[in-house]
Structure 1
Amino acid sequence: MRDFLPAEKARRERVLAVIRERYRAHGFDEIETPVVEEYARLHAGIGGDNEKLAYNVLKRGLDADAIRAAADDPASLTDLGLRYDLTVPLARFYATNRGHLPSVFRSIQIAPVWRAERPQKGRYRQFVQCDIDIIGDGSARAEAELVVATLDTLDALGLEGGSVRINDRRVLDWMLDSFGFGAEERPGVLITIDKLDKIGPEGIVAELRERALRLGQGADSAAIDAFEAFLRRPITLEYHPYGERQIRKALPADAPDEIVSHLVGIGAAAAAARAATAGDEVAGDIPLVFDPFLVRGMGYYTGTIFELAHPSVDYSLGGGGRYDGMIGRFLGQEVPAVGFSIGFERIVDLVAEQTDAAAPAVVLVHDRDVPEAGLLALKAGLVRQGSRVRLEQRTKNLKALLERAASDGYTAFATVTAGTTADDLEVKPLG
């Protein structure tokens, strides 16, 4: 958990303002949910490993005897917890407020979340998520809207050239079933497959064999052999843009037509939207890449899953997917839902520093003997004209004072002595 100095806070707010503006331009509406949710909701078995990282809130009013009595059952000591993502709170929000919302609801949530991570570079215990979600639309159009809005936001931040890796959890289930892995084995197998980018095909196969041996699952040997043969199959180098040929080429034969059609529909709709945004008359390519081994670890995903990539870094800048089963847990009936989250903490460091030329930021450097009334009148006059104004008493090291002001985002300065009037004020650029 971090403190942010003024310049860094201002930078973060500028980036957030762009994200909000682009999300709203695409028809999404911002909501706000509490930072705490009920313990049972946060630990319902749908948050994957994040549930283990949740910060839980001790019940109020427990005495020493009650705490000792519950020592073997930590869950009985808590009734609330800090949210570890924004999707679980959104599902609860929708179930609670559905009567006040449109049949297809497009939401924005931009807020901090908390996880008891081991602190390291790029991994924090408190961080901001920027989510857009569509609830009530089970068609490919919903995924396409999210892809287009996310890529448009990335472009607006000056990070052109982004792309989206895409897969479907149903494809993964079908593929593992075709190799011969039992349903009960698939969660563990998926954890291993998710490491493909890090340890390669040989590492994946070795880990699967070691795991099967450790668990005494000799029946999985044939399934691992089939998976290994698929990983080592000859692949032609011919290029296919995102579409049915690319998807079927990346999968075993006879992939389910319904799922393939859904993925193809996402690409077609997103391509048309991107082309229209660029002013093209014909729908062009969409920066989508089908990845049959994209897993994503959240247990609530039921269909399409995404990851946002950019050529400047070797890690994802966001992700999301379809979670059609989650809201039904709170509402008692199934409601389709899909979301995409930008990893704000990773993106903010990539965005080039910008200054807002339309809103001058002026430092008034004044002598000690300048009357307060006259000084504040000068400041108020500049504020009325649209400037941001800071008062600084002159120091011996004026250069250091102005350098600090510049680092805080100020672009100009003026000196004020006793008797200075608005007409006398000479504003000079910093730097």
Structure 2
Amino acid sequence: MSNAPAQAEPIGHPHFHYHKGALHAEGVPLDNLAAELGTPLYVYSRAALGTALDRYQQAMDGRPVLVCYGMKANSNLAVLGEFARLGAGFDIVSGGELARVLAAGGDPSKVVFSGVGKQAWEMRAAIEADVKCFNVESQDELYRLSDVAQCMGRHARVSLRVNPDVDAQTHPYISTGLKENKFGIAIEDAPQAYRIAASLPGLHVVGVDCHIGSQLTDISPYFDALDKLIDLIDTLKASGIAIAHLDLGGGLGIRYTDEVQPSPKALLDHVFERLAARGYGHLHLVLEPGRSLVGNAGLLLTTVQYLKHAQARNFAIVDAGMNDLLRPSLYTAWHGLRAVRPRAGATRVYDVVGPVCESGDWLAKERALCVQQDDVLALESAGAYGMTMASNYNSRPRPAEVMVDGEKYYVVRQRESISDLTRGESRLPF
């Protein structure tokens, strides 16, 4: 045991902060939210979303840049609607995500459609909506997209997602730019794929696309990829294939513990400097940030159900589980953990675990806590890849989601009910 440490500022400060002994999201005490709405509960800060996007918009500095939010990180309609209101575009990976963008009032002319497995119905929906561009990831996809566009009597604007074989130096599950990854077309095969794209009816080549991975805290891998992409653009130019935009994907990391969050301005300054030096300063740039826009804008609240002091470990058993926040179990990811109302006194080292019947159901390991039954805890940096990866495993309803705006809050997704879990199912006839 040890004395409880002083409370450091929460990640996401000043949007998440302590006031009068309680953790707040903007002007709302989180213990009040937990008492009124129950837990597990996802809580987002509207101001934090705006602040994160503003970092990119300020970094543009009048240069031709389109920020397309990588919405797989968090696809709640309130989040999408806020980014649409602030002028962002969207990076989508499914027909369902396109439907969400349209429902949230997003501009389809600012939508890029990524993903390795687009189906014909998804292509038709995106062509009908007139999205900005398809990021095509294989030659087979080119042929199918050409057929779909022809049948509709339309043209589809395309860029090819190029795999530059660059190590993003991140977790292997979220590294996407190596030759062994499933994403994109190998850069040595890209010139031939572009020639095919340029020859196919119904397609109009407009760009080059690349995405090397996620949670990058060092921006140098972007520049390794950029040099290869510029060489490719030179080759395409010599073949008579003109490129209007360059899409560098997303991937800028956030702070989960002590990481230094990369600067969008440092990235953009360096990219435009290199483009200008090679004669491509006129190119429009597309970025697809996801995690860096929403990750630090959200918390997951959970309530301690039981404390279990065993010989080998101490466990704080909470009501949130791996079905609510999968990242720790899937990636051994670290999320900051703090009491909503910190207690004074001695601490014990606990593993914070959920109720799901899996040994992998844990949210935080070896954390020094001064905690009692029914205390509410907050898992930080849970705005990205939290609710979007949640499931109903063990027949558990998914959490509610709340957006805080100053001293007000809005339930932007109702908590699922037990009856929701069996909706659409049926028994066999006797």
In the superposition, the TM-score normalised over structure 1's length comes to: 0.22
Structure exhibiting the larger radius of gyration computed from Cα positions: 1
Larger strand share, 1 or 2: 2
TM-score after normalising by structure 2: 0.22
- More contact order relative to length (CA 8 Å, sep ≥ 6): 2
Higher helix share: 1
